[in-house]
Structure 1
Amino acid sequence: MRVNFDDIEIIEKLRGGIVSAYREIFDRYYSGLCHFAHKYLGDKDDAEDVVQETFMVLWDKREEFQSLPTVKSFLYTVTKNKCINLLSVSSNRKRILEGDYLFSQQFFEENVVEEEMYRALYKSIEKLPEQSQKIVRLNLKGMKNQEIADQLGISLNTVKTLKKSAYKAIRSDMLIWFLAIVMNQVVS
């Protein structure tokens, strides 16, 4: 059984060494961090290794965190640094020393935002009714409305109606996410 904590509770429990809180953070960020690391390393296995090491560091430093945003920032920063360290001992060391865009702050920030956007999108999809989730996921895979209707055994009109309301809900969620990002940048 999966336990969901609110952001304050998850930090308190993490600091107290409660494994289920650690698992909640792992579940929230693992796949996005793997994708993020893959952009640096170009290798899925290396990316997963780096992210697993990052989560070990998180566990070791769990008592130091005061908020979930600091945990998230920590995870992305440690992952980036571990990727750069791994590349610095490889044949790509010259690229790092030459200041390649891959290792710039701009690349880092763009990719953190991209991963967070995907995470927000999929979180929004998970809030939809089950049938709407299926329709949106199939649509994101490139399927046409008629193909979706055929696969799910529902009418074309049902697909169109559910898809329209689903995307309306997703746009609303994504607008809220975007405004939160913008407001956070204005305040910072």
Structure 2
Amino acid sequence: MKRHDPPGERTRDGELVEMASHGGGRRARDAFRVLFDRHSSAVLRYAWGLAANRSDVDDLVQETFLVAWRRRSDIRVVAESALPWLLTTCRNASLNLNRARLRSEAHELVEEPHNGPASYRRRDHDEAQEQVKWVVAEIAALPDLDRRLCQLCLIEGRSYEEAAAFLDLTPASARKRIQRTRDRLRAARAADC
């Protein structure tokens, strides 16, 4: 890619990070915008699994990309993708948000002697965390191919076609495997309840 070409969807993450790291000019903003467009949906899905409530999801995504912009020269690209760094940043933002919420709820409990709304929110949060842990454990127990397929499609947000090509499967086979995995998870969840 020539130095003056605008970044596009074929530009690799490493190149986008490099372009974004050089100042705050238009080229840096354009590169960061492509990076955002490429990975924001995966970060959004990941944030859904981390968020204590729905209103936190957008906050986590915004915080993730705000940190990424501020620290764009520190973004590490792993296996030609900035997504692992972004997901780690999202997880850290979630931990920070949850710590702040716990401090706030502790303060509310000191001021309110009864078990009011804070206790309900905490219980909902604990239940959501348990569900995420359960899903992660169930996916970890899958055969290697199905686990890798879940990682690519359900966590990273890749299309069935992309995942199939990466894993040397047909797109129809990838769809069928994902559907069987979803059915297994539903059945296992129903058995646990």
TM-score, normalising length from structure 1? 0.51
Cα distance change, pair 170–62 in 1 and its aligned pair in 2 (3 A) = farther
Q: Which amino acid aligns with 1:37?
A: A
85, 90, 99: which is aligned to 1:74?
A: 85
Residue 117 (str. 1) matches residue 130 (str. 2)? no
Q: Paired residue for 1:151?
A: none
Q: Would you tell me which structure has more helix in proportion to its own residues? A: 1
Give the C-alpha shift of residue 95 in structure 1. Answer: 9.4
Residue 32 (str. 1) matches residue 68 (str. 2)? no
Alpha-carbon distance in structure 2 between the residues aligned to 1:58 and 1:116: 22
Offset from partner CA, 1:16-71 (integer Å, 9 cap, x none) = 24111111111111122112111222533311111101101101111123535573
Q: Paired residue for 1:19?
A: 29
CA contact (8 A) 2:13 2:77 kept: yes
Gaps of 5+ in 1: 126-166, 173-188
Q: Paired residue for 1:87?
A: 98
Cα distance change, pair 60–170 in 1 and its aligned pair in 2 (3 A) = farther
> Helix, strand or coil: the match of 1:120?
coil
Give the C-alpha shift of residue 103 in structure 1. Answer: 8.1
Query: How do 1:1-188 residues align onto structure 2 when only pairs under 5 Å count?
Result: 3-4=8-9, 5-17=11-23, 18-67=28-77, 69=79, 71-88=82-99, 89-90=101-102, 91=118, 101=130, 107=136, 114=150, 116-118=152-154, 119-121=157-159, 124=162, 168-169=170-171, 171=173
Q: Which amino acid aligns with 1:3?
A: G
Cα distance change, pair 122–96 in 1 and its aligned pair in 2 (3 A) = same
Alpha-carbon distance in structure 2 between the residues aligned to 1:123 and 1:41: 29
Q: Which amino acid aligns with 1:168?
A: T
Give the C-alpha shift of residue 101 in structure 1. Answer: 4.7
Q: Could you say what the CA RMSD is over the residues aligned between the two structures, in angstroms?
A: 4.4
Give the C-alpha shift of residue 122 in structure 1. Answer: 5.9
Alpha-carbon distance in structure 2 between the residues aligned to 1:60 and 1:7: 17
TM-score, normalising length from structure 2? 0.50
Identity of aligned residues (%): 22
Offset from partner CA, 1:104-133 (integer Å, 9 cap, x none) = 6x949x69x7464242226749xxxxxxxx
CA contact (8 A) 2:76 2:85 kept: no
Alpha-carbon distance in structure 2 between the residues aligned to 1:3 and 1:62: 18
Alpha-carbon distance in structure 2 between the residues aligned to 1:103 and 1:168: 29
